[in-house]
Amino acid sequence: MGDDDDDGPPRSSTDRGGRVVVDVVVGAASSSRPVASSSSSATTGRQKRPTATSRRAFAGAAPPASSRPSSRSDAATDETTATTARTVVAAAGSSAGVGVGVGGGGSLSSILLSNAGTARFLRPDAPRLLRHYDRIVPKDYWKNMTSWNFLGDLNDRMTTTTTTTRTTTTKAARGVDGGGDDDDGAGADAKRPRTSSSSSSSGSSPLPDAFGSYREYCALWAPLCLEEARAQLLSEVAGDLPHWQGGAGRLDRGPVRVTLEPMRRDVHSSSDCVGVRVKDVLTPSSDYKDRSFVANDIVLLTREESYVWEASRGTLLQRKQQQQRQQQQQGQSRQPTRYGIVGYIEYSHRSIEGLIVQVSRELWSDVGTSEMVLLKLGCNITSLREFTALCRMDSIPLLDYILGSKMSSRAPAGPTKFERGSEIDAGGLDSNDPPSDEKRAKRDILSMMGGPSALGKGFAEYASRKFNLSQLGAISASAMEYGEGGFTLIKGPPGTGKTTTLCALLNALHIRQMNQYFHEVRKLAESLDAVVGKRASLSLSGAAKKRPRILVCAPSNAAVDNVIMKIMEDGFVDGSGRRYNPSMARIGRGQSESVKDVCLEEKVESYISNSMDLTQLENSMEGHKAECRRIHSDITRLRQRMHAMKKAVGYPLAKEWEIRVDEDTARVYYVNHKDKTTTFEVPPPPEPGQRHFPPESMPEYKEFVSRVVKLVERYNNISTELERLNLCRDVSTAVHGGTYCHSMNTIRQQVEMHILDDTHIVTTTLGTAGNRSLEAANKFEVVVVDEAAQSVEPSTLAGLQLGSKHAILVGDPQQLPATIFNVSGRTTKYDRSLFQRLEEAGHDVHLLDTQYRMHPVISDFPRRIFYSGLLLDGPNVKHPDYGNPLKRSVFRKFQAFKSFTVLDLESTEERGGTSLSNTTEAHLALHLFDSLRRGTDGQSASSRVAVITPYAQQASLLRRTFSNSLGAGYERFVEISSVDAFQGREANIVIFSCVRAAGSKGIGFLSDVRRMNVALTRSKHFLFIIANTKSIMVNPYWRDLVKHARETEAVIQVPYSGSRHSYSFPDLATLKAMPPPLKPMFPFSNKKQRGRELLTEESNTGNRGYHL
């Protein structure tokens, strides 16, 4: 990029470390707005909502309403003063690199965000610079990818990995099996702030809690999305490269030498990209397997295969430097600055030969040759969809809420209203009995969402009986705000029934939307013009579009399947209290066979498999068309009778009179119930003050309306079936006409759209929310995102772009966040979810405040430390028999054991590559499991037992250890998993292996307080923590946990003998718990006395609450 002129983007320079330093433009609203702390509050439900002042203090000093940016036009934003920041950005590869391209000729790398502590200064031309990045478009994603110096970045990554051994393994980065980076500095753990919530909480972060405009939002987010897309692909390739170098991996995925030629149509084109076609494959057929490519696959073209392997070893830069020296000595001409070109596939292709790759025109002219090596890197379709959603977010109806210029903070019915009681009868909920405070509170909540009149008496009774106040409040909020728009945030700590509550709020939304649908049908039934004449068919089919439209998204397949299985298992409850199954479809196959019946792909296959008999299809279509004509005729006839009743009398009739219509002659007559007579003469008007009724209230009129409603529903169902048969006919015609393959993709998309438009509840992962058929389908009234705290904001946008004006986010920011690949994402707050950002900005959050999973002894520490004491124990876990007979048998055999026990083991950790393990802990975990199984007469084996650990290497070691001792079928008795993979699940007994045992060097990956929260909240009856307590106490949270365990006599020191290959542990039943520490006779104030740190009297109360 040339020198900066008056109309150009900010200038970038290079610092001593070879990193690009760029000027960053940030809207003035960001600089003038107070920055909220990143600590995430465990806000209460609406029924206990604090005052505005206390809520801000509790939520981490969120900005007051007056300081939040108001909605303003882009023109107004241009007039404000902007700020800039100097940002250090890692250079894209070993060469100078090409900036991240963006529409309008700009470079998105020039608006990459500042790191913590970056100085900011004013620039008078900041509004002009903001205008320069006015618009981003989806093709900017490919501009970025095709300009990427991939081999340079790979070389830098592997060099860093070799020198520091601090790179997270690909498997861990994917969030599949835990394990990851370590910060071995003890100071980082010892000084870790107790109010840390966001992973990026240390120092100031550039992403604000609110944004001044759509343009500012995109200017800040776009470069982060593109950097994350690169980092994700780079991480995956770095993990897969060793498998591509030999054996079957090389045959299936390895490099292939090919000949290339530019497409003639692109040679003289003015576009940034040029298509190059693979003419021939030069690699012998015995050395590779042909492979297919799909649209959006990303490939690498390089002159020599050795460049790839040198980059994977981190030695490519040395080659480049050596070549440059040789060129200078020999006076040779300049060689290409790149060793490879990144390209993408625009259209799917079944083989390498004939494949067309889109590459940068500029780089092709510099690096491209007729003979190159082709390597398939992968497919980043998810990141492309996220970037596309970011480009289109100005069309999202919730835009003002996303930016922060509007906030859902409606005043709920607080405790004072519940204490006063409600004058609104919830209808049939034992209204004759004097209600308790809880019953009265539930009635108020039900009345706020319309009570039985909106959701039906049956559902109201079901909801009041099944859900506690906080759950009912969340369901009510979702139903209430449905009509008003905005976000509803529901925080579900572990064991609070989050999935059950989610399904219930879907139930409530479905009932409300069905009621709206039938209301529209009734309006249609009473509209004469709508069902008579040429507009009839259009009006009838238009009513079908009012059917329920709900989209349910989640970051993972497991979370989506969990919601589907819960709905399939429990069903919905209608307004009469009857169980029913809603219409559902799942995009993607999912992980569970249980959801196969609702998978979209299975439904499409069923459509197509029934499309072969063309004659039978034609006959069925004719029959349905005839049925539609009959229904239309019946509706017209009934409507004529309804019209006759309305026009028969110009005034209401007295209560003894009723209007009826003769079915044969369609003549109106009148019935006098007082005299029990009938007449064709119009009755006299009622006397003054006498009760009277209009024709619409007559029983026969209501009967006609009911019949018309049923006929309209029948008409719509048949019309839907006719559309399906039309599509089946198209398939059959294509098969018999020989154009099956050519037409099938188009027909499949049409079938998918038809199914999706006809389905009430559609479920999908956020990664597939950009599915083409889903984007083309009708918009959804409500979008619900489960596990919303585990997805980055652009991922959530992909789901929100499919919705209307209401979104419900369900999750828990106190647990593990989204997995990211770019190391700077933690500093920039890219890893922060939309849920957490809205919460930190002051948005109302409905807390599910009662947990029904953990024994109170297990939940005591997490409730106080992670949820500030706001989380309560349910009556079931407080019952003396909770956990029996397992609990009784364990306590009888192991008298020192408690429901929460720490096994103190003086072990040592071992590093293997990029992860850690602890052999001694693995063998103690096996010994503990075997002791419980033998000591409880198999009751522990029949219970669900899980062994979890933060590290992938330790999980692998545990599996080998258990398999060697118990055999290959050990998984029938115990599940071994990483903490990350076990989030959202539970077990009766949990054994947690901490691994870390490096003395005062720190505990790195284990110190993540949200990972700690997940680990400590998975068990129902017993939690055993295996740890070297001296090592983990360098972290304040783990120090408090050990202190808590010692005070409750729950620490047991476990001696052992033996070596790495053979360990001997004592009988655990003979061990005794350590006595509690002596409490000081006088309060001290954080001063070390007699070699021990004595905490103040205030800290010993145990009432501290740390925010994540």
Determine the pLDDT at residue 31. 36
User: Is there a single domain that holds both residue 95 and residue 202?
Assistant: yes
Determine the pLDDT at residue 640. 85
What are the backbone angles phi and psi of residue 341, rounded to the nearest 5°?
-125, 135
User: Is there a single domain that holds both residue 130 and residue 218?
Assistant: yes
Domains in the chain: how many in total?
5
Report residue 691's pLDDT band, with 50, 70 and 90 as the boundaries.
Answer: confident
Determine the pLDDT at residue 713. 82
The distance of Cα 446 from the centroid of its chain, to the nearest Å, equals 29
Q: Which pairs from 377-380 meet CB under 8 Å and 24+ separation?
A: 377/150, 377/233, 377/237, 377/298, 377/299, 377/300, 377/342, 378/233, 378/236, 378/237, 378/240, 378/297, 378/298, 379/294, 379/296, 379/297, 379/298, 380/145, 380/229, 380/232, 380/233, 380/296, 380/298
- Four-point Cα dihedral 1002, 1004, 1008, 1012, nearest 10: -70
In a domain, 749, yes or no: no
Determine the pLDDT at residue 951. 92
Q: Where are the alpha helices (DSSP H) in 997-1073?
A: 1009-1016, 1029-1032, 1036-1047
Query: Tokens 């997940």 sit at which residue?
Result: 1014
Report residue 72's pLDDT band, with 50, 70 and 90 as the boundaries.
Answer: very low
In a domain, 820, yes or no: yes
Determine what percent of the chain is predicted with pLDDT higher than 70.
Answer: 72
User: Is there a single domain that holds both residue 659 and residue 798?
Assistant: no
Q: In what order do the strands lie in the sheet with 657-661?
A: 657-661, 668-672, 677-679
What average pLDDT does the chain have? Answer: 77
User: Is there a single domain that holds both residue 161 and residue 49?
Assistant: yes
B/e letters for 806-836, b = 16+ CB within 10 Å, e = fewer, are bbbbbbbbbbbbbbbbbebbbbbbbbbbbbb
Q: Where are the alpha helices (DSSP H) in 467-599?
A: 469-480, 498-525, 528-531, 536-544, 557-570
In a domain, 1098, yes or no: no
User: Is there a single domain that holds both residue 385 and residue 412?
Assistant: no
In a domain, 1090, yes or no: no
Determine the pLDDT at residue 722. 85
Residue 974: count other Cβ atoms within 10 Å of its Cβ: 23
Q: What is the pLDDT of residues 733-754, one digit of tens each?
A: 766 665 555 567 777 888 888 8
Q: What is the 3-state secondary structure (H, E, C) of 49-82?
A: CCCHHHHHHHCCCCCCHHHCCCCCCHHHHHHCCC
User: Is there a single domain that holds both residue 508 and residue 424?
Assistant: yes
Residue span of the structural domain in which 250 resides: 242-389
Q: What is the CATH number of the domain that holds 901?
A: 3.40.50.300
Mean pLDDT on 500-528: 86
| More confident call, 250 vs 364 | 364
Mean pLDDT on 124-133: 44
User: Is there a single domain that holds both residue 811 and residue 914?
Assistant: no
Determine the pLDDT at residue 471. 95
Determine the pLDDT at residue 329. 65
| Domain boundary pick from 829, 847, 865 | 847
In a domain, 1100, yes or no: no
Report residue 176's pLDDT band, with 50, 70 and 90 as the boundaries.
Answer: very low
User: Is there a single domain that holds both residue 971 and residue 1047?
Assistant: yes
pLDDT score of 387 more than 50: yes
In a domain, 609, yes or no: no
In a domain, 1096, yes or no: no
User: Is there a single domain that holds both residue 840 and residue 925?
Assistant: no
| Domain boundary pick from 331, 355, 389 | 389
Q: What is the pLDDT of residues 856-879, one digit of tens each?
A: 999 999 999 999 999 999 999 999
Mean pLDDT on 152-166: 72
User: Is there a single domain that holds both residue 925 and residue 969?
Assistant: yes
Determine the pLDDT at residue 336. 61
User: Is there a single domain that holds both residue 493 and residue 543?
Assistant: yes
Determine the pLDDT at residue 102. 39
Determine the pLDDT at residue 861. 96
Asked if residue 196 lies in contact with residue 39, where contact means CB atoms within 8 angstroms, the answer is yes
| More confident call, 998 vs 155 | 155
In a domain, 1099, yes or no: no
User: Is there a single domain that holds both residue 371 and residue 450?
Assistant: no
| Domain boundary pick from 847, 875, 896 | 847
